[in-house]
Amino acid sequence: MVAPERRPVVDLTEEQARRALPLKWGVPDDVLPAWVAEMDYAVDPVVMGAVHDALAAGITGYPLERDPALGEAYAGWAGRHFGWAPEPETVREVVDVTAGVRVALDVLSGPGGVVFPTPGYNAQHGLAGVTGRAEHLLEVPADAERAEIDLDRLDRVFAEGAGTLLLTQPHNPWGRAFTRAELEGIRDVVVRHGARVVSDEIHAPLVLPGAEHVSYLAIEGTHDHAVAVVAASKAFNTAGLRCAQLVVPSAADRARLDAQPMSRNDSWSPLGVVAARAAYDLGDPWLASLVERLDQQRALLATLLAEHLPDVRMRPVEATYLAWLDASAYGHDDAAAVALERGRVMVSSGASYAPGATGHVRLNFATSPERLTEVVERLARAWVQ
């Protein structure tokens, strides 16, 4: 079979980016944004074309409660990209990934607390409390040689009463793609305690060369205690269209979710469904170009850091377009604040991912080579005094 011709990744100009990405680029004119996880690239024209066609057809009403075609599209996508696919009927729409995590905790998890490894995605700090559960932070030391979940500590936290692990994989901000062996180890601890897993897999399409994504649900013995939350929105830059998916392999769990009042899980967009289906069915050629570009940007970032900030420690980025940087050698407790004040570049503070962390930042490298070069040069001017 001949692979379809790739579609190129197109860089947005600054003017285009300010229009298209109002949150990320809603900064003063002299500030370069490298913080929130959005890419400075034009949306895949095939996905954008599908949305345009839907708008032209007047598709602006309420979505179906469940669109079987979306489940078929995701199953086909997962089979092609990950070598494992859920049954289409296991897929349920949600507004976005964080909302999907919340509804899974609300409906499927018992009263025990939620284990949240840190550093961890800042928008999900506090989700346990929102759902009326205690949050148990599973801290990974900043100086650890490899960012991984300590299974002995996870075992102790479950023994102390936690009931659910919120697993982010591929991991944000570590940039890790957990191996099958690691996931099997997590499963063994979870099963031993009769606990649950909610696996946030939004970055799965963005695994870079040298690594692979293994869904937690692809691990034997997980379907009775786990769900995955997935989306095309991160890889295709369509977060504003509002549609993610829960993959729920247990029929009993699906029945519990389906029996919930509409107010528990509603308000995803029909345009989000259109975009997701187009991405899953037709987006492979553009995604291949994107992964190639991100691999190049990953290499460029390493080169730039070695040249301009040799004392910054960057964890190997196996997935995502987000780099977790330890800049503590330069002596700034809040390196992000210094970067903004002195360098006029906006990166995310490490303390928002790991409370109490100092000297760390998360940097988004999904931009043009020229813009990334300027970001690192500005960081060097800010941090090196």
Using only C-alpha atoms, the chain has a radius of gyration, in whole angstroms, of 20
What pLDDT does residue 1 have? 41
Chain-centroid distance of CA 212 in Å reads: 15
CA–CA gap between residue 232 and residue 171 (Å, rounded): 16
What are the φ/ψ torsions at residue 28 (nearest 5 degrees)? -55, 155
Query: 14-42+284-383 adopts what CATH topology?
Result: Aspartate Aminotransferase, domain 1 (3.90.1150)
What pLDDT does residue 348 have? 98
Domains of the chain: which residue ranges?
14-42+284-383, 50-282
- Joined together, the tokens standing for residue 195 give 């606990």
Q: What are the E-state strand segments in 252-333?
A: 313-314, 322-326
**Tens digit of each residue's pLDDT, the chain (385 residues):** 445 678 999 999 999 999 999 999 999 999 999 999 999 999 999 999 999 999 999 999 999 989 999 999 999 999 999 999 999 999 999 999 999 999 999 999 999 999 999 999 999 999 999 999 999 999 877 656 678 899 999 999 999 999 999 999 999 999 999 999 999 999 999 999 999 999 999 999 999 999 999 999 999 999 999 999 999 999 999 999 999 999 999 999 999 999 999 888 888 999 999 999 999 999 999 999 999 999 999 999 999 999 999 999 998 999 999 999 999 999 999 999 999 999 999 999 999 999 888 899 999 999 999 999 999 999 999 999 7
Q: Which of 179, 124, 174 is nearest to 144 (CA)?
A: 174
Dihedral sign of CA atoms 106, 108, 114, 117 in order = negative
What pLDDT does residue 356 have? 83
What interhelical angle do 151-159 and 180-192 show, nearest 10? 20
Peptide bond into 355 cis (omega under 30): no
Chain-centroid distance of CA 263 in Å reads: 25
> Which residues have CB under 8 Å from 65's CB, separation 6+?
none
- Joined together, the tokens standing for residue 364 give 């988004």
For residue 41, what is the DSSP state?
B
Which amino acid, residue 237? N
pLDDT cut 90: percent of the chain above it: 92
- Joined together, the tokens standing for residue 106 give 């609300």
List, for residues 225-265, the tens digit of each pLDDT value.
999 999 999 999 999 999 999 999 999 999 999 999 988 88
CA–CA gap between residue 15 and residue 19 (Å, rounded): 7
Q: Which of 273, 277, 247, 282 is nearest to 95 (CA)?
A: 273
What pLDDT does residue 142 have? 60
User: Mapped to the 3 state alphabet, what secondary structure does 320-354 carry?
Assistant: CCEEEEECHHHCCCCHHHHHHHHHCEECEEHHHCC
Burial class (CB in 10 A: 0-12, 13-18, 19+), 278: buried
In contact, 172 and 286? CB cutoff 8 Å? no
Classify 243 as helix, strand or coil: coil
What pLDDT does residue 318 have? 97
Classify 137 as helix, strand or coil: strand
What pLDDT does residue 145 have? 65
List, for residues 307-365, the tens digit of each pLDDT value.
999 999 998 999 999 999 999 999 999 999 999 999 999 999 999 999 888 899 999 99
CA–CA gap between residue 125 and residue 144 (Å, rounded): 21
Is the whole-model pTM more than 0.85?
yes
What pLDDT does residue 143 have? 59
The CATH class for the domain spanning 50-282 reads alpha beta
How far, in Å, are 42, 105, 205, 271, 276 from residue 237 at the CA level? 8, 26, 12, 14, 11
> Which residues have CB under 8 Å from 289's CB, separation 6+?
6, 7, 8, 9
Q: Which of 66, 20, 60, 63 is nearest to 42 (CA)?
A: 20
What pLDDT does residue 5 have? 78
